[in-house]
Amino acid sequence: MSETITEKETVEEFLLQHKNKWTFFNVPFEDGQALENLVLENNSQTILEIGTSTGHSTIWLAKAVEKTGGKIITIEIDKNRHQQALKNFKEADVSHLIEAKLGDALQIIPTLNETFDFVFSDATLTVQPKESYLLFFKATEPKLKIGGLYTMHNVTDGYGDDGRFFKYLEKLGNYQTSIIRASHNGISVSKKLK
């Protein structure tokens, strides 16, 4: 990923050129398309991403917010992945749509002044991998607007949540959840009703 996007190229062309080259736990191409569609369908403008990796999903989200007039805050804990993501954002010409933060999402999220109408969680904690999804949700939930979407990756491949997140949502009783199976990973989509 070395050449900067030219005036004639689009973000979509950038994504197509690099379709099978993303590593470091980035989302598959199909899941990126699904995220873009969700943002567009819901006209989401304030987006939080937990787990940037090297930026594949972020670029898909940026492609969408360029049309909705929105902005993305994305958080990555790994310095090398964060730096590679910054390079990828520049190459894809979407840096102006993204505020990339380096650090622990559980420490950064409480400091954010924004509220969000779309959250994409695609990170796990090394120490408590099976509790990660619930911990990230609890940190973010007060900042999610009513009508907003909380989306989460790896819900059907056995890698992410072990069910406790969905049980917690059931107890809350104010979320409507569905699952998108664009790839084998699965994306849960939980809409905040009240």
Total of domains in the chain: 1
In a domain, 137, yes or no: yes
Q: What is the predicted pLDDT for the residue at 8?
A: 40
What is the extent of the structural domain holding 138?
A: 27-192
Indicate yes or no: pTM above 0.85. Answer: yes
Contact 54, 24 (CB under 8 A): yes
Across the chain, what does the average pLDDT equal?
87
DSSP tag of 72: E
The pLDDT of residue 4: 47
For the beta carbon of residue 24, count every other beta carbon within 10 angstroms: 15
In a domain, 127, yes or no: yes
Using 50, 70 and 90 to split pLDDT, how confident is the model at 30? confident
Whether residue 14 lies inside any domain: the answer is no
Distance CA 58, CA 53 (A): 9
